[in-house]
Amino acid sequence: MKQFKDRVAVVTGAASGIGRGLAERFAAEGMKVVLADIEAGPLAETAAALEAKGATTLAVETDVSKADQVDALAKSTIDAFGAVHIVCNNAGVAVGGLSWERTLADWEWVMGVNLWGVIHGIRSFVPIMLEQGTEGHIVNTSSSAGISSSAGLPIYTATKHAVVALSEVLHYEFAMTGAKLRASVLCPLYVATNIVDSDRNRPEELQNEEAAPLSPLKRPEMQAAVDTFRQTLATGDTPAEIADAVFTAIKDEKFYIINDARAKDGPRKRLADILEDRNPAPGPAASSAASS
Ligand SMILES: NC(=O)c1ccc[n+]([C@@H]2O[C@H](COP(=O)([O-])OP(=O)(O)OC[C@H]3O[C@@H](n4cnc5c(N)ncnc54)[C@H](O)[C@@H]3O)[C@@H](O)[C@H]2O)c1
């Protein structure tokens, strides 16, 4: 995309962290911004902050794991602004632990937000964008955990790998069908956000029973690791830096958005293992990356 002013961007998970950074960046480019998030208070606060700087916004409380709510988000976008040009399927949550110990509620919650949220975003918005016939861009937020694997975040890692694969397929599909749309996948390493506190938005019906295993970083003895992880995130990229990288990728039609070179170590090793028929050596546990 080359034209941004007065065009329309939709960002999910826009009330915090990377999503808020994206929304601020699009607004600074003169775009109308649709902010979607499950957390009503911060959503309203983010919209008000952007409006105070002169932006045109629409805030839509949305649970991206629900198909009807993402459809409703698309409808509200068109009703308000008549078109949509950029969609960032960005909302995400994390829970740490061992794959066989995590509860069905954990799996449903994280798969629902991180993977189904992206699927719903594609299904609800791409047909509208194709019908419009204008240039446009879909940005799916994955993670460095989507291009390498380690122990610690099993559900998160599975969803983020799926998001990379689905985004690559989308990229091929746009080329194959001659669409004017482009796709990118965002794979950050550490970003200073609130992802460690993902649980704050966990729906009532997907709460764990009392007896559910505590995720490692919720165990009292792991408090030091939680603190270290928070500090690591705090020293990571800022959401504004990530938003810069995303904006440049949209302008330059760049597919992979990996702005921390260290995020390439994992896939380099993984690909070498695959090509050399080697068993994967256990890498550093993602405990340093496990949250909630
Ligand atoms: N922070 C990092 O280091 C990092 C690294 C790699 C990838 N990511 C990815 O970046 C994305 C954004 O996360 P963040 O780090 O900014 O975290 P964050 O917690 O600061 O922001 C996530 C936002 O998503 C919203 N959200 C949660 N569940 C939702 C739902 N069901 N429907 C709609 N919105 C929902 C939250 O309310 C929040 O506003 C996620 O997909 C995450 O996996 C983050």
In the chain, what are the domains? 8-288 (3.40.50.720)
Is the CB of residue 141 below 6 angstroms from any atom belonging to ligand 1? yes
- Dump pLDDT digits (tens) for 2-30: 999 999 999 999 999 999 999 999 999 99
CA distance 284 to 23: 33
Ligand 1 atom with the shortest distance to the CA of 236: 3
Looking at per-residue pLDDT, the higher value among 216 and 67 belongs to 67
Is the CB of residue 134 below 6 angstroms from any atom belonging to ligand 1? no
Predicted pLDDT at 287: 41
Report, as an integer, the average pLDDT of 191-205: 94
What is the 197 CA–ligand 1 centroid distance (Å)?
10
Residue 279 has pLDDT above 70, yes or no: yes
* Phi and psi, residue 137, nearest 5°: -145, 135
Predicted pLDDT at 8: 98
Looking at per-residue pLDDT, the higher value among 144 and 209 belongs to 144
Residue 284: band (very low, low, confident or very high) from pLDDT cuts 50, 70, 90: low
Q: Which helix H or strand E contains 37, and what residues bound it?
A: strand 32-37
Residue 292 has pLDDT above 50, yes or no: no
Predicted pLDDT at 217: 65
CA distance 142 to 167: 9
**Catalytic residue at 190?**
no
Predicted pLDDT at 5: 97
Would you call 42 helix, strand, or coil by DSSP? Answer: helix
Average pLDDT over the chain reads 93
- Dump pLDDT digits (tens) for 232-244: 989 999 999 999 9
Residue 210: band (very low, low, confident or very high) from pLDDT cuts 50, 70, 90: confident
Predicted pLDDT at 209: 87
What is the 10 CA–ligand 1 centroid distance (Å)?
15
Is the CB of residue 121 below 6 angstroms from any atom belonging to ligand 1? no
Through-space distance between the first and last CA atoms of the chain, rounded to whole angstroms: 37
Is the CB of residue 65 below 6 angstroms from any atom belonging to ligand 1? yes
Residue 291: band (very low, low, confident or very high) from pLDDT cuts 50, 70, 90: very low
Its pTM stands at 0.95
Ligand 1 atom with the shortest distance to the CA of 18: 16
Predicted pLDDT at 283: 61
Residue 44 has pLDDT above 80, yes or no: yes
Q: What is the DSSP string of 188-257?
A: -S-BSSSGGGGGGG--GGGPPPTTSPPPGGGSGGGHHHHHHHHHHHHTSB-HHHHHHHHHHHHHHT-SEE
What is the 178 CA–ligand 1 centroid distance (Å)?
32
Closest CA to 256 of 192, 195, 193, 188: 188
Residue 224 has pLDDT above 80, yes or no: no
Question: Which pair of tokens denotes residue 70?
Answer: 């993402």
Predicted pLDDT at 215: 74
CB 36 within 8 A of CB 10: yes
Predicted pLDDT at 43: 98
Predicted pLDDT at 288: 41
Is the CB of residue 91 below 6 angstroms from any atom belonging to ligand 1? yes
- Dump pLDDT digits (tens) for 97-138: 999 999 999 999 999 999 999 999 999 999 999 999 999 999
Report, as an integer, the average pLDDT of 186-198: 95
**One of 156, 172, 190, 256 is an active-site residue; which one?**
156
